[in-house]
Amino acid sequence: MGFDRLKEEPLHHDQHRADRPAGPVIDPVCGMTVEPDEARSRGLHSSYQNVDYYFCARGCKLDFDEDPSRYLDPSHTPSM
């Protein structure tokens, strides 16, 4: 028998990748909720140690870029 009818098509369910946040994320600088897509489109996005971060405003991104570890320290409390 030469043909293999039972060969299944793999389902393409990989639409949502794990490295892309599905919903709102927290601005690590001020604690505000940010939509990743919107933040990215406005350039309010940084990558640090292979993790993506999103910001509500340019000031927050600049603060973060200056010293990312400060805002990622568990003892840091986001505030406006």
Count of residues in contact with Zn ion, rule CB under 5 A: 6
Q: Which is nearer to Zn ion, 16 or 43 (CB)?
A: 43
Is 60 near Zn ion (CB under 5 A)?
Answer: yes
Is 39 near Zn ion (CB under 5 A)?
Answer: no
Closest by Cα among 31, 33, 58 to 44: 58
Q: Which member of 28, 56, 64, 68 binds Zn ion (CB under 5 A)?
A: 56
- Residue 50's region, left for phi above 0, alpha for psi from -120 to 50, else beta, is left
Is 27 near Zn ion (CB under 5 A)?
Answer: yes
Angstrom distance (rounded) from CA 54 to CA 45: 5
Stretch that binds Zn ion, among 8-16, 25-33, 46-54, 70-78 (CB under 5 A): 25-33
Binding-site ranges for Zn ion (CB under 5 A): 27, 29-30, 32, 56, 60
